[in-house]
Structure 1
Amino acid sequence: MIDAAMIWNEPNNKSHWDPEVDPEWVRFGQMVNLAADAIAQANPDVTRVLGGISPIDPAFMLRMKKYGVLDRVDAVAVHGFPLDWNLWQIHDWPQKIDEIRAVTDLPIWVSEVGISTFGAEEVQLWGLQRTAELLKGRVARIQWYSLYDLPREWEATTRHREAEGSSYYRHFYMGILREDGSPKPSLEEFAKHTPELGLVQWFHYQDHRLDDAVAWMKRLGVTHLRTGLSWADSFRPDALAWFDRQMEALADFNVTVTFCFTPEHRGIAPHHTSAPQVPEEFAAFCAQMIERYAPRSGVTLASNNDAVLAV
């Protein structure tokens, strides 16, 4: 069910990693190294990917190289949103890829790229067309963010909130489907670029959109999907049953699973962006998920009645 494991998400963005707890990313590097080794031990055939960086910063990649992280992963990833949040133009995509290629020989994935319809749906349509022109054939994998708009009653996973004008609200309009499941103009355009373009869709705990999302992705010709399994969610009631349901529903796709989000009670600070108190616990969670959903050949999937690893 899993062909790639992405270790964390946007580690150089304070919405996903707290630089006050770990200002030099030393703890992050240690955590990634432990997790990468644990994933490799669980199943060496699973591709290990460093969590997509945002902003695209070659200096951060060099820092990861210094910490030995790039020796333990099979690919690196970047995220870009030039029409919404980044301080560069959409036409700069080739230059941004070349900046990372200059500091590593590893394959480069664009594991999140997207354009909001906050201002106008026509902007997303044009942006999708131009993004495909600029990135197809240039990187190892492209994953469009996202399938669905974020429901307005939910919260976006960011620390910025309303402090930066429209920035926060753009998070809610990234889908090629509206919140009610109706298609935007860009949906038909997206289908022209599959399977080369994959999708990113985060599924919240007990997400009501899961089955409809699977049906839409098959209709669109999507073959590879990036989603997440949250370490924090693993402490919820019936978490493993939800993980099983999610992964079984996605069994027909090549799935990149992102492992991230620190449980509040296991962080140095009580927040999902905090470095963990014991990084080996995160590594153990990653290994358990790989053993369960991407077991080595000949290994039987664990029973649905198994408990989540106690840490």
Structure 2
Amino acid sequence: MIEAVKIWNEPNNKSHWDPLLDPEWDLFAEMTRLAGQAIRAENPELTRVLGGMSPIDPFFLQRLEGKGALDHVDAVAVHGFPLDWNLWPIDAWPEKVAEIRAVTDKPVWVTEVGVSSFGSEEVQAWGVKKTADLLIGHAPRIHWYSLYDLPHTWEATTRHKEAEGSSYYRHFHMGLLREDGSPKPAVEAYAPYAEQMGLCQWFHFEDHRLDDAVAWFRRLGVRHVRTGLSWADRYREGALDWFDRQMEALAEFETTVTFCFTPEHRGIEPHHTSPPQAAEEFAEFCAEMTARYAPRRAAAAQGRIVSKELA
């Protein structure tokens, strides 16, 4: 069951939205307004979540509110990695959530939080428990990032690349599982919190890890999952077949789906972080995915009735 959709991912992070092309976030605000309207038209009951802020910045949220973007979302989200990239201590998590609550009346979700095992797998396991103790009860949704380490043959979704030094390589060690699927100590630390702290796992196009990931979600007792459907991937051959397989595999979980990534040929510049040439096209993608995977309940129920009658 899809319980929510997220409009973009980390819009105030240049690894996901190019600030040189949209320095005041006017284009992003327009895109968010149109996407929120399109999603609402397809399913008025579906929760729309603003792409998670990274860094956590109340002034950025106020900027978007001034442009009318928050009128078309139902919740806002934050991302934080204090032991790896953020310049604040892990104990500040409740304070960071409170900073956002102070400037909005919308629920504040924590849709990515994590600790890498780059320096120590034992530190990561400690970070799981510490994060759970700090955040459970302070946010309606919490998603640990992530289940799997990123394969070393892939590329991390960041504009900085190796110029980050060791910070870049931390991207590859965020999982509870190693690249080969073997468990780290963090798995045992996570298991007691699985019902209250969900998991975020991005699946690449035709990702070979999908079925094993679902098996781990079940084994751990995970209820809430966050993943993504890529607008850029929509233009690949066989895209809908892959999307169908992915969403069918996750159907038993309460899933938050993120819509993001600009197709190169539809961006102002040919990059996934570029604002689109026409914001309406992203809204159309959001509408299509919502209608396909999260139709309004009345329509879905009618479809089941018709199917039974035909059978």
Output the TM-score relative to the length of structure 2.
Answer: 0.96
Q: Could you tell me which residue of structure 1 aligns to residue 237 of structure 2?
A: 237
What amino acid is aligned across from residue 112 of structure 1 in structure 2? E
In 2, Cα distance between equivalents of 1:124 and 1:200: 16
Q: Could you tell me which residue of structure 1 aligns to residue 306 of structure 2?
A: none
Query: Does structure 1 residue 58 correspond to structure 2 residue 39?
Result: no
Q: Could you tell me which residue of structure 2 aligns to residue 110 of structure 1?
A: 110
Q: Secondary structure at the match of 2:15?
A: coil
- The alpha carbon displacement at 1:72 in A equals 1.3
Q: Could you tell me which residue of structure 1 aligns to residue 73 of structure 2?
A: 73
Q: Secondary structure at the match of 1:50?
A: strand
- The alpha carbon displacement at 1:69 in A equals 1.4
Query: Does structure 1 residue 33 correspond to structure 2 residue 51?
Result: no
Query: Does structure 1 residue 125 correspond to structure 2 residue 125?
Result: yes
- The alpha carbon displacement at 1:68 in A equals 1.1
Specify every segment of 5 or more residues in structure 1 that has no aligned partner in the other structure, as ranges.
302-311
Counterparts of residues 1-311 of structure 1 (less than 5 Å): 1-299=1-299
What amino acid is aligned across from residue 86 of structure 1 in structure 2? N
In 2, Cα distance between equivalents of 1:82 and 1:69: 28
In 2, Cα distance between equivalents of 1:194 and 1:208: 23
- The alpha carbon displacement at 1:297 in A equals 2.3
- The alpha carbon displacement at 1:140 in A equals 1.2
Cα pair 1:201 1:226 within 8 Å, conserved: yes
- The alpha carbon displacement at 1:300 in A equals 5.5
- The alpha carbon displacement at 1:298 in A equals 4.1
Per-residue CA deviations over 1:157-186 (Å, capped at 9, x if unaligned) read 001111121011000000000111110001
Q: If each structure's helix is expressed as a fraction of its own residues, which one has the higher value?
A: 2
Output the TM-score relative to the length of structure 1.
Answer: 0.96
In 1, Cα distance between equivalents of 2:32 and 2:268: 16
What amino acid is aligned across from residue 198 of structure 1 in structure 2? G
In 1, Cα distance between equivalents of 2:125 and 2:201: 19
Q: Secondary structure at the match of 1:35?
A: helix
Per-residue CA deviations over 1:240-265 (Å, capped at 9, x if unaligned) read 00000000000100110000000000
- The alpha carbon displacement at 1:299 in A equals 3.0
Specify every segment of 5 or more residues in structure 2 that has no aligned partner in the other structure, as ranges.
302-311
What amino acid is aligned across from residue 108 of structure 1 in structure 2? V
Cα pair 1:2 1:290 within 8 Å, conserved: no
Q: Secondary structure at the match of 1:178?
A: coil
Per-residue CA deviations over 1:268-294 (Å, capped at 9, x if unaligned) read 011000000000000000000000001
In 1, Cα distance between equivalents of 2:213 and 2:299: 29
Q: Secondary structure at the match of 1:51?
A: strand
- The alpha carbon displacement at 1:187 in A equals 0.3
**Identity of aligned pairs, percent?**
69
In 2, Cα distance between equivalents of 1:109 and 1:152: 30
In 1, Cα distance between equivalents of 2:149 and 2:63: 34
In 2, Cα distance between equivalents of 1:298 and 1:133: 39
Cα pair 1:4 1:257 within 8 Å, conserved: yes
